[in-house]
């Protein structure tokens, strides 16, 4: 999942996917490497951040 998806909130989508389908693994792909982005993604349930 890309954080820069147009018209999308990838963090909220990751949270919903993990809530609705806990067995689904989410990995965030982004060119944003700030700690804030990484922590938000991981706290939303993403398995990894690349």
Give pLDDT tens digits for 1-50: 777 766 568 888 889 999 999 999 999 888 877 898 889 889 999 999 98
The candidate with the shortest Cα–Cα distance to 26, out of 36, 4, 12, is 12
pLDDT at 17: 93
Helix, strand, or coil here: 40? Answer: helix
The single residue listed with the structure tokens 């993403």 is: 46
pLDDT at 1: 74
Q: What pTM did the predictor assign? A: 0.74
pLDDT at 6: 64
Read off the tokens for 42. Answer: 């991981």
pLDDT at 18: 92
């Amino acid at each position: 999942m890309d954080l820069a998806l147009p018209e999308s909130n990838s963090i909220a989508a990751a949270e919903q996917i993990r809530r609705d389908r806990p067995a689904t693994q989410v990995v965030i792909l982004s060119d944003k490497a700030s700690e804030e982005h990484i922590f938000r993604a991981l706290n939303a349930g993403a398995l990894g951040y690349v």
